C-alpha cells in the first residue's frame, strides 16, 4: 500500500502506539480523583500538556486539551464571542476548513456579521481587504496557518500586526501546519491556535487549543471544572498521553521529516509535470507546505483517478477528507479562481513521515498510465 493522504490523517507512530498501550494497561484512574490512582494520571496528563506546550513554545497553563482540531476551533471562536458579547463582527478567510467556516455560518445565523477574506490565485489572503473591514466591533480574526488542500502558508504575522492595531485578537488553525513548519506562538504573535493529534502521528480524538495567558474565554460545553474550567468532561487520557508523545517526537524530528519530505515531494512534482501533459499545479509555488501537492487534470473527474489509483493500492484524495463524498466541488479551489471543471479534476497527494522513495517511484510509474487510460475512456 502507498499512503499519500497524510493531510486526511496520519498513521500512528509506533512509539506513540507503545506509549498508549503501556498507559491503558496500567492506568484507569480519573485525573480528577484525589487519591494516588487519579493523581498519577493527572501527572501524566500534565506531562503531555508540557510536551504539546513545548512543541508550540507555549506555557503548559496555556494549553487546553479538546477532542479534536474542530473542537479547538469552535472553542476559540465561540468562546471568545461569548466572552465579548457586545462585539458582533468576525473575520475569517474564504478557504478555511469547515471547522472554522461552519462556525462562521453559525455565527451569521445568530446575527453576527462575518467578513470572508478573499484569496489570490495562489491562495494568499488579501491583507488590504482585512484592513478595510476590521473595526473595534470585531471580536476575532481567524486565519489558518497552512491550507489543508493546497498547502499555502498564510502571512499570519502580518494579520496579527494589523489586528493588534485595533486591539483585536487573532486565532490560527494550525492543524495542517503543526509538524510541517516552525509553529511557535511567540514568533507568530498569535493569541489562539488549534492543533490536532491525528495529523501528527498521534491518536484520533485528541486536539488542543493554545490560549495566550490573560485572554478571557467562556466554555462552550458546560459541566465540570476540567481543563482549567474551559473544557468540561473527563479527559480522554489515553488520547492525551498519545498526543504528548507525538508532540515530543515532533519537536525532536520535525525538521528532519520536513527536509526528507520536501525532497520526495519535489521529485514527485517534477516527475509528474514531466510525465503528464496538461497537468496543472494548484497553490503557491513557494509559500507552501511542500509535502502537500494539489494538481488538476482538466477533463477528468478526480474521483475516477482516485478510484483507479485505489485499485493499485495507492491512496490519495480529491480534496479535503471532509468534503470528499459530498459531491461538492472544493470551495478552496473555487476561491482561487479555478473553473468548476478544473476544481472537480483536482487530486491532492500529501506525504508523511512513513513515505519512502519507493512510494514516490511507484506513484510516478503508475499515475501517468492511469491518466492515459482515463483520457482514452473519457475522450479528453
Ligand X SMILES: Cc1ncc(COP(=O)(O)O)c(C=O)c1O
**Residue 176 binds ligand X, judged by CB under 6 A:** yes
Q: Which stretch binds ligand X (CB under 6 A): 242-250, 278-286, 296-304, 318-326?
A: 318-326
Q: Pick one of 44, 48, 77, 144: the residue that binds ligand X (CB under 6 A).
A: 144
**Residue 99 binds ligand X, judged by CB under 6 A:** yes
Question: Of residues 83, 114, 215, 322, which has the active-site annotation?
Answer: 322
Q: Which stretch binds ligand X (CB under 6 A): 169-177, 221-229, 292-300, 304-312?
A: 169-177
Q: Is 218 a catalytic residue?
A: no
Q: Which stretch binds ligand X (CB under 6 A): 67-75, 114-122, 161-169, 185-193?
A: 67-75
Which residue, 300 or 332, has its beta carbon nearer to ligand X?
A: 332
Q: Pick one of 5, 173, 227, 359: the residue that binds ligand X (CB under 6 A).
A: 173
Q: Which stretch binds ligand X (CB under 6 A): 104-112, 172-180, 216-224, 371-379?
A: 172-180
Least distance CB 34 / ligand X (angstroms)? 32
**Residue 68 binds ligand X, judged by CB under 6 A:** yes
CA-based nearest residue to 155, from 288, 337, 261, 255: 288
**Residue 207 binds ligand X, judged by CB under 6 A:** yes
Contact code string over 147-166 relative to ligand X, x by CB under 6 A: -x------------------
Least distance CB 99 / ligand X (angstroms)? 4
Which residue, 279 or 293, has its beta carbon nearer to ligand X?
A: 293
Which residue, 99 or 265, has its beta carbon nearer to ligand X?
A: 99
Least distance CB 323 / ligand X (angstroms)? 10
Catalytically active residues, by annotation: 322
What residues line the site for ligand X (CB under 6 A)? 68-70, 97, 99, 144, 148, 173, 175-176, 196, 198, 207, 320-322
Amino acid at each position: 500500500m502507498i499512503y499519500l493522504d497524510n493531510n486526511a490523517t496520519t498513521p500512528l507512530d509506533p512509539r506513540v502506539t507503545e506509549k498508549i498501550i503501556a498507559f491503558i494497561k496500567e492506568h484507569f484512574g480519573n485525573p480528577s480523583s484525589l487519591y494516588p490512582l487519579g493523581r498519577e494520571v493527572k501527572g501524566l496528563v500534565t506531562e503531555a500538556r508540557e510536551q504539546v506546550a513545548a512543541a508550540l513554545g507555549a506555557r503548559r497553563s496555556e494549553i487546553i486539551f479538546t477532542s479534536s482540531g474542530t473542537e479547538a476551533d469552535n472553542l476559540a471562536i465561540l468562546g471568545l464571542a461569548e466572552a465579548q458579547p457586545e462585539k458582533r463582527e468576525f473575520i475569517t478567510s474564504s478557504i478555511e476548513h469547515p471547522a472554522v467556516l461552519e462556525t462562521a455560518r453559525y455565527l451569521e445565523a445568530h446575527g453576527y456579521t462575518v467578513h470572508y477574506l478573499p484569496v489570490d490565485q495562489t491562495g494568499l489572503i488579501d491583507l488590504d481587504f482585512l484592513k478595510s473591514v476590521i473595526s473595534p466591533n470585531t471580536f476575532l480574526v481567524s486565519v489558518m496557518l497552512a491550507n489543508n488542500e493546497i498547502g499555502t502558508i498564510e502571512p499570519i504575522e502580518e494579520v496579527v500586526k494589523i489586528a493588534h492595531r485595533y486591539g483585536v485578537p487573532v486565532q490560527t488553525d494550525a492543524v495542517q501546519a503543526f509538524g510541517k513548519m516552525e509553529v511557535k506562538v511567540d514568533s507568530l504573535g498569535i493569541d489562539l491556535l488549534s492543533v490536532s493529534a491525528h495529523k501528527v502521528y498521534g491518536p484520533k480524538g485528541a486536539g488542543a487549543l493554545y490560549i495566550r495567558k490573560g485572554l478571557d474565554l467562556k466554555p462552550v460545553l458546560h459541566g465540570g471544572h476540567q481543563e482549567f474550567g474551559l473544557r468540561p468532561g473527563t479527559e480522554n487520557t489515553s488520547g492525551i498521553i498519545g498526543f504528548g508523545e507525538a508532540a515530543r517526537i515532533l519537536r525532536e524530528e520535525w525538521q528532519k521529516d520536513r527536509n526528507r519530505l520536501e525532497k520526495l515531494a519535489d521529485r514527485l512534482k517534477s516527475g509528474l509535470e514531466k510525465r503528464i501533459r496538461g497537468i496543472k499545479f494548484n497553490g503557491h509555488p513557494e509559500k507552501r507546505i511542500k509535502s502537500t501537492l494539489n494538481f488538476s487534470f482538466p477533463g477528468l473527474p478526480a474521483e475516477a483517478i482516485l478510484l483507479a489509483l485505489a485499485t493499485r493500492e495507492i491512496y490519495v484524495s480529491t480534496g479535503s477528507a471532509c468534503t470528499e463524498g459530498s459531491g461538492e466541488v472544493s470551495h478552496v479551489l473555487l476561491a482561487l479562481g479555478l473553473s468548476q471543471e478544473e476544481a472537480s479534476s483536482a487530486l491532492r497527494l500529501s506525504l508523511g513521515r512513513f513515505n519512502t522513495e519507493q512510494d514516490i517511484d511507484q506513484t510516478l510509474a503508475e499515475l501517468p498510465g492511469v491518466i492515459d487510460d482515463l483520457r482514452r475512456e473519457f475522450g479528453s
